[in-house]
């Protein structure tokens, strides 16, 4: 059986424990992480015990750095005055089942396109518990998440996603780009599907119950409580992880599996870079891109998601199209936006091929209004490994296929780490 190659990272990193930050995971979570690595189909049965006083304290320290006031009006400074007493009471509530999250207060922040983005503000204690649970779940899912997923993950950021995309477009045989946008993703997450996806790895009913409580807590808007049948409010400590879990199963493993299956039927390469719900796919041939676009629409529809028809575009983009346009005297290739940057290509003196990523709003840069990448033809980068096809092993292909068709397939192994 062929060993599955990693999509990214440096050689020799396979044995390192992925962490929430630069610091090593606590020993108890290292055991969870190691168990997850040994078998990617292991289910974890006793995870709530890792949500202890120490984990709640770590979550509070992390929360203290960002500050802020919860929907209940509680502040970090006031909560810290009786921190030991407060955390002990909170830990007891979590483990006795008496913990109940408060509704999330919904506010709106402006978007670059003139619209408004809903943002949820949870209670302070809800942020603490969510942070502790997220730390535990990350010890498992950082093993599962694929390398082209960059958003809201420990040790990853938007710059790395941009770098990976640039390398894929500049060093791979990419001639067409599918700039995809999921319409109102965080408001459209199906709760039932999400819980089934989490249950693939998590068999601890108490953890699943906590997640369900957070999803069903509802929102407060203008002082009026509203029930939420779908969606994961942006702004909570747990929602980015839940969003990544949802898209891992709904999109990532399917995209990898589909690209492997298409090797027998498609003509060219496929690359993908995703940051949260924003993702870009690159194709060698337009026919492959059109086929994948139709399949992607159907795939997302199975999970209650829709592509934004106005924002999702298929455009000619890549080295060879840029050269062809320059030689024939045609205008520049179309541009597309990803993570607040406009991506464009042109030919430089001496037939050097260059690409620039402009950011007029300075979303990720300071002191400059653009990040420019230069690449001469034939130059390669180690980052290109991130964009290669995943050589998944046979048992992983089977597992992905089984999950897509029936989430009720029993696990091969359970772990009480």
354 vs 350, higher pLDDT: 354
**Residue 368 banded pLDDT, cuts 50, 70, 90:** very low
Of the listed ranges 11-25, 113-127, 193-207, the one predicted with least confidence: 11-25
The closest of 119, 141, 388, 112 to 236, measured between CA atoms, is 119
Q: Count the helices and strands in the chain (H runs, E runs).
A: 14, 14
Q: Which of 161, 169, 168, 143 has the alpha carbon at shortest distance from 16?
A: 143
Cα 43 from Cα 203, distance rounded (Å): 6
Residue 164: closest CA among 275, 21, 22: 275
Binning pLDDT at 50, 70 and 90, where does residue 136 land?
A: very high
Indicate the range of 74-88, 231-245, 252-266 predicted with least confidence: 252-266
Could you give the CA distance from residue 174 to residue 169 in angstroms, rounded to a whole number?
6
**Cβ count near 325 (within 10 Å):** 17
In percent, the amount of the chain with pLDDT more than 70 equals 75
- In this model, does residue 187 exceed pLDDT 80? yes
pLDDT on residue 265: 60
Query: Does the pLDDT value for residue 237 go beyond 80?
Result: yes
Contact 300, 251 (CB under 8 A): yes
3-state secondary structure of 203: coil
pLDDT for 124 equals 94
Could you tell me which of 190, 174, 366, 194 has the C-alpha nearest to residue 284?
174
Mean pLDDT of 353-375: 42
User: Taking a C-beta distance cutoff of 8 angstroms, is the pair 349, 357 a contact?
Assistant: no
40 near 93, Cβ under 8 Å? no
Res. 85 pLDDT band, cuts 50 70 90: very high
| Selection from 149, 29, 12, 96 nearest residue 417 by Cα | 29
Helix axes 191-198, 205-216, angle to 10 degrees: 160
pLDDT digits (tens, 9 = 90+) for 13-65: 333 344 444 458 999 999 999 999 999 889 999 999 999 999 999 999 998 87
pLDDT of residue 178: 96
Please provide residue 273's backbone torsions phi and psi, each rounded to the nearest 5 degrees: -135, 130
Q: How many CB atoms lie within 10 A of CB 351?
A: 11
The upper half-sphere exposure of residue 97, i.e. CA atoms within 13 Å in the direction of its Cβ, equals 4
Q: From the CB of residue 309, how many other CB atoms can be counted at a distance below 10 Å?
A: 10
Tell me the mean pLDDT in the region 147-159: 92
pLDDT of residue 185: 94
Mean pLDDT calculated for residue range 240-259: 92
pLDDT digits (tens, 9 = 90+) for 261-280: 666 666 788 899 999 999 99
pLDDT reported for residue 262: 67
How far apart, in Å, are the Cα atoms of 291 and each of 262, 281, 285?
10, 12, 10
CA–CA distances in Å: residue 145 to residues 103, 107, 365: 30, 30, 27
Binning pLDDT at 50, 70 and 90, where does residue 287 land? very high
pLDDT score recorded for residue 170: 79
Q: Given a cut of 50, is residue 380 above it in pLDDT?
A: no
- Residue 364: per-residue pLDDT: 38
pLDDT for the residue numbered 412: 60
Per-residue confidence at 360, pLDDT binned at 50, 70, 90? very low
Closest Cα to residue 184, out of 149, 232, 220?
Answer: 232
pLDDT at 348: 57
Tell me what pLDDT residue 166 has: 86
Instruction: Assess whether pLDDT exceeds 50 at residue 109.
Output: yes
Q: Mean pLDDT lowest for which of 246-260, 307-321, 324-338, 341-355?
A: 341-355
Q: pLDDT at position 193, please?
A: 97
Mean pLDDT of 117-141: 94
- For the segment 144-148, the average pLDDT, to the nearest whole number, is 95
pLDDT tens-digit series, residues 207-236: 999 999 999 999 888 888 988 889 887 888
Q: Quick check: 126 pLDDT over 60?
A: yes
Phi, psi of 123 (to 5 degrees): -70, 155
Per DSSP, helices labelled H in 122-204 are 124-144, 158-171, 185-188, 191-198
**Residue 385 · residue 167 · CB < 8 Å:** no
């Amino acid at each position: 059986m062929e060993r599955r190659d990693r999509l990214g990272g440096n050689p020799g990193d396979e044995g390192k424990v992925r962490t929430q930050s630069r610091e090593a995971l606590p020993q108890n979570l290292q055991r969870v992480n190691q168990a997850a690595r040994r078998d990617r189909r292991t289910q974890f049965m006793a995870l709530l015990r890792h949500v202890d006083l120490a984990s709640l304290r770590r979550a509070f320290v992390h929360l203290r750095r960002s500050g802020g006031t919860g929907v209940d009006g509680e502040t970090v400074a006031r909560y810290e005055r009786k921190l030991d007493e407060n955390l002990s009471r909170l830990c007891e509530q979590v483990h006795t089942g008496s913990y109940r999250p408060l509704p999330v207060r919904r506010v709106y922040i402006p978007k670059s396109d003139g619209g408004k983005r809903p943002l949820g503000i949870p209670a302070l204690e809800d942020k603490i518990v969510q942070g502790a649970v997220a730390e535990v779940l990350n010890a498992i899912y950082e093993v599962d998440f694929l390398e082209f997923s960059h958003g809201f993950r420990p040790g990853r950021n938007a710059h790395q996603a941009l770098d990976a995309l640039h390398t894929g477009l500049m060093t791979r045989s990419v001639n067409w780009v599918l700039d995809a946008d999921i319409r109102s993703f965080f408001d459209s997450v199906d709760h039932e599907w999400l819980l089934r996806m989490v249950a693939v790895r998590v068999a601890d009913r108490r953890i699943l119950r906590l997640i369900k409580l957070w999803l069903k807590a509802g929102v407060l808007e203008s002082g009026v409580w509203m029930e939420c049948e779908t969606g994961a409010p942006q702004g909570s400590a747990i929602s980015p992880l839940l969003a990544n879990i949802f898209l891992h199963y709904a999109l990532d493993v399917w995209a990898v599996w589909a690209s492997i299956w298409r090797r027998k039927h498609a003509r060219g390469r496929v690359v993908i870079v995703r940051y949260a719900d924003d993702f870009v796919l690159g194709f060698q041939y337009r026919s492959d891109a059109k086929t994948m676009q139709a399949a992607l629409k159907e795939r997302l529809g199975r999970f209650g998601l829709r592509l934004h028809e106005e924002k999702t575009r298929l455009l000619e983009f890549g080295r060879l199209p840029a050269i062809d346009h320059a030689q024939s005297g045609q205008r520049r290739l179309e541009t597309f936006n990803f993570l607040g940057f406009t991506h464009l290509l042109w030919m430089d003196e001496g037939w050097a091929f260059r690409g620039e990523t402009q950011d007029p709003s300075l979303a990720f840069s300071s002191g400059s209004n653009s990040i420019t990448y230069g690449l001469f033809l034939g130059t390669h980068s180690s980052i290109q490994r991130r964009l290669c096809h995943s050589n998944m092993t046979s048992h992983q292909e089977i597992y992905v296929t089984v999950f897509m068709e029936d989430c009720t397939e029993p696990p091969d192994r359970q772990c009480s780490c």
